Structure 1
């Protein structure tokens, strides 16, 4: 079989849940504050995947306005009971501190394309829920439990309770069936049945560099569950120099010919500071059964290369994409939090028009449309038509992680109405070393005056951690540099503004517009280009 390089879903695609229905494979991944919610990819061969739907795509299903960064949709679980698809997920409204507001829901659909139902609320006792369909027709809801009283350990264990799809409610007793191992932070449960055994696969160690996949089994669904002889069947925590770090949060699938594969979360850190710019990605490992226990081939350390039934289409991976908007917004793009898209963008005229709303750092309503950074090095460019009246109206090109970490080349105006180019960036993003930090109390960053009429070309180039902005005025062919070379590795999980291992998404690149005058000033973008670049610094990609 061909050797395929991990990850199979590069860029921000964490917490994979894998499913096979006939000859078709599906993987559902977390989307956090990005709308629409949940990404579902499809494959016929486990190597080549296509995004086919984001099922949580209307207001009656999902409204994340006010959800903080790295909250929103966590750890979906996709299953099929022989008749229809089921999707279980958490909408996190608060995550930092002692309390977590983690609302768990279930939706269903007759086909993967939908229509997907409105959500049924289940509980808020913990996150990372899953749904297990037993052989006798019973459905079981499994999720981790959060106990705000316990210090410093707030993760209480894995809860099991029967769920009635007719009433839409949990019924019968609830039991904590597994408290995890000494690695702690047990979460991400998936329940299976095979050869008379119930198997419980969990994530432990947090989603950082101590992450792991733990496996346990029992003859009775209520337990007790015996932990795997090796405890953790997949982890890179004891191997800090392997290519795939942060390995954990897994799920497994069996092929029609009886092979078993484990999909899992992973990260590929760059720079000496071990920053995961591409966020948490989805990788795959071949596994096998021995004595009714699951083992990862050559594990427990994850492999960069894996045998799969088919080769990956490398040409498609490195393909330049030029997006136009005559047929609406391409599926590669997402926006933040709001289901009311008509308030933030339109493609009615064959171009992408953003209506300026709140700042780029808002948790409520911001006009920001972007796609994932799927490569360590890339070029992105656009053409903007925008006539701001003052400094409170601005729009442009952004490399974005969250409200705390972004780079933003904008067209704005001085208070006298003179149009200008300006680089805005979160405080931690300003370059260090040979480049001057803004002085304390400095009220303005350097700006470049430009004509008040005419379109402007905006471009960003990323080569490993080096990020540079460029521009060209209407009628000019050559781009000119603007601003310093920034440390682009800032747009990473490790710099997301939360406590250690508390940021969960990945880098995006796209366009945004703000109008703090409250007028919804429009900025129009002709097209958007994303061009992957092979670069010598990307040792795990070329």
Structure 2
């Protein structure tokens, strides 16, 4: 078998991979999307099955009001003492001098949950991980944030002993074990003990084209005792601009039962417009940061290296002792909303789906109009990841608004400043319902059809809407019978829904594009939109 990278497509960033027995687990960042911390399992590293997300209650995670790309950064999954340990960070401030965050700990004996906690750990910095030493002691390893403008914000890697009796840290034991190298932005630390050495894996260079992973090691956990590998960077695509995978870096090391080694890393897959240089800009990763797995071997001096070179490979030999895993053959989704709970592939923003947003079951999803798609507090939106560059997404909505302040339809969404949608609303001049297409680009809102918005014929109960995404561009279509479709005369640039585009003007650029269903009624009267199905089909 071959591992085909990426193994988790579409917004599966910052993988924390572990092995328990013959099973591998991956935990991924989810940022402002709820539920928090995506989990997958596999026995062959080739085929991965989703597990229930770890943070599915507001007791474990409440992000209401969090800024875009705040929330869950780089969770760490580990296993010791007969249970799973999950360290996760909730970041409340994204832009500016401060990164106000809180690190929490939750545990469970069953990866399917429920998870206990949360135990508040500290707020020293994000990207915290828990190291279980072979003498029974435990340590929190974390990026350290420095708000002072005359210092570099990434102030090395801090190690603090964790007391298993009190389930709290011992702040007096905190020490800086490594400052990183001249690339700076050292973060995402994971610590391993192998053959008497402590190996520190850490990301550097920021999660953009300069991203890389480096390795350092020490015989002790003393302050500033780690020395960098002479072969760093361990993995990077900074100098491989034509590689299929880009941005590789932040991730985790794992061994197989028979002693092979692999490394799970985030990655990006950029595309380009025909008019653009292949290297500047390097491209647009509309699927966000995904998860790839590379083979690792060790040199005669005990330093790890990526098989095939530090740029990584698209196809990688699977473990020799892999147990073939049965997983879904497609990522397509068809939902007729028969269940009274949302399909696990759906996500909401910041808080769980509840009665304030609407209800589901009996063949429909009913969304109660709340704030606009710019709202970070009260928003009725359910969405799923883009997981392919080319796909169609379709829905059908019943909606009878009486004001232009009420809207409902199909959206392609990156964050509150970058999104578009095709929607049904009310035109007070023509005194009828219409279909409009609008886009929010860097918080500049544009209605494309205006006086040419499509009139919904009197007596028409349902409107079908479809998005056709074709890598660089996407369009919307409508139908009044679900059979005959008409394209709306707007072609939208998909790059606006990419990390790389958002990064040009905004500091939160860590997620990926989503497609979903939304209802807005900022008049405050809660107009209800009823959706009877949703289809997502990759091409």
| Range into which the TM-score falls when normalised by the shorter chain | over 0.9
Shift of 1:443: 11
Indicate if the aligned counterparts of 2:16 and 2:27 stay in contact, CA closer than 8 A: yes
Give the unaligned 5+ runs of structure 1.
Answer: 431-436, 534-542
Residue matched to 1:495: 501
Residue 254 (structure 2) aligns with: 253
Equivalent position of 1:394 in the other structure = 407
Alignment of 1:55-134 (within 5 A): 55-134=54-133
Matches within 5 A, 1:365-384: 365-384=378-397
Cα distance in 1, alignment partners of residues 150 and 309 from structure 2: 33
Contact 1:422 1:445 survives alignment (8 Å)? no
In 2, Cα distance between the equivalents of 1:185 and 1:319? 35
1:264 aligns with 2:265: yes
SS in 1 for 2:388: coil
Alignment counterpart, residue 332 of structure 1, candidates 335, 339, 345: 345
8 Å CA contact retained: 1:468, 1:484: yes
Q: How does 1:260-339 map to 2 (within 5 A)?
A: 260-271=261-272, 272=276, 273=281, 274-290=283-299, 291-309=301-319, 316-318=328-330, 320-327=332-339, 328-339=341-352
SS of the aligned residue for 1:489 comes to: helix
C-alpha contact (below 8 Å) 1:378/1:462 kept by paired residues: yes
1:144-159 paired onto structure 2 within 5 Å: 144-151=143-150, 153-159=152-158
Greater CA deviation, 371-380 or 144-153?
144-153
Aligned length: 523
**1:131-530 → structure 2 map (5 Å cutoff):** 131-151=130-150, 153-171=152-170, 172-222=172-222, 224-271=225-272, 272=276, 273=281, 274-290=283-299, 291-309=301-319, 316-318=328-330, 320-327=332-339, 328-339=341-352, 341-415=354-428, 417-427=431-441, 444=450, 446-452=452-458, 453-473=460-480, 475=481, 477-496=483-502, 499=505, 502-530=508-536
With normalisation by structure 2, the TM-score equals: 0.93
Moved more, 124-133 or 214-223: 214-223
Q: Which residues of structure 2 form unaligned runs of 5+?
A: none
Shift of 1:382: 0.6
8 A contact 1:420–1:447 mirrored in 2: yes
- Secondary structure at 1:495 match in 2: helix
RMSD over aligned Cα atoms: 2.2
Report the CA distance between 1:339 and its aligned residue.
3.2
Distance 2:363 2:14 in 1: 35
Contact persistence 2:440–2:446 (CA under 8 A): no
Structure-to-structure mapping, 1:13-28, within 5 angstroms: 13-28=12-27
SS at match of 1:94: coil
- Structure 1 pair 476–214 and aligned structure 2 pair: CA distance change class (3 A): closer
- How far the C-alpha of 1:47 sits from its partner, in A, is 0.6
Distance 1:133 1:362, change over 3 A: same
CA displacement at 1:5 relative to structure 2: 2.1
Contact 2:94–2:507 under 8 Å retained in 1:
no
Q: 2 CA distance for matches of 1:180 and 1:500?
A: 26
2:424–2:435: 8 Å Cα contact kept in structure 1? Answer: yes
Once residues 83 and 476 of structure 1 are traced to their aligned partners in structure 2, the CA distance between those partners, rounded to angstroms, is: 53
**Hey, what's the Cα distance between the residues in 1 that align with 2:397 and 2:195?**
60
Give me the whole-angstrom Cα distance separating, in 2, the residues matched to 1:340 and 1:257: 43
1:147-166 deviations in Å (ceiling 9; x for gaps): 11143621100000111233
